[in-house]
Amino acid sequence: MSVITKDMTFHEVMQKSPEVVKVLGSFNLGCVGCMGAVNETLEQGATAHGLDVEDLLTALNAIF
């Protein structure tokens, strides 16, 4: 079972571990200062940035 899902907001995910910010950065996602992070889901953000949400989820869930 995944700890992080595509329906979670970036804000929710960043609250889980400081390592999350490093993983997001590796995908060129500067979510820490982004106002959209509060309401935008991982799926929405990945799509908006041309990323595969499954790749992002795999990397994020590897932390846990």
CA-to-CA separations, 2 to 7, 23, 58, in angstroms, rounded: 12, 16, 9
Residue 49 within a domain: yes
CA atoms of 54 and 32, how far apart (whole Å): 21
Residue 54 within a domain: yes
Residue 24 within a domain: yes
Average pLDDT over residues 31-56: 92
Q: Catalogue the long-range contacts made by 30-38 (C-beta closer than 8 Å, 24 or more residues apart).
A: 34/10, 36/10, 37/9, 37/10, 37/11, 38/9, 38/10, 38/11
- Output the pLDDT for position 42: 97
Residue 17 within a domain: yes
In the chain the first and final C-alpha atoms are separated, in Å, by 11
pLDDT band at 59 (very low <50, low <70, confident <90, very high): very high
pLDDT band at 2 (very low <50, low <70, confident <90, very high): confident
pLDDT tens-digit map of 11-43: 999 999 999 999 999 999 987 788 888 999 999
- Output the pLDDT for position 11: 92
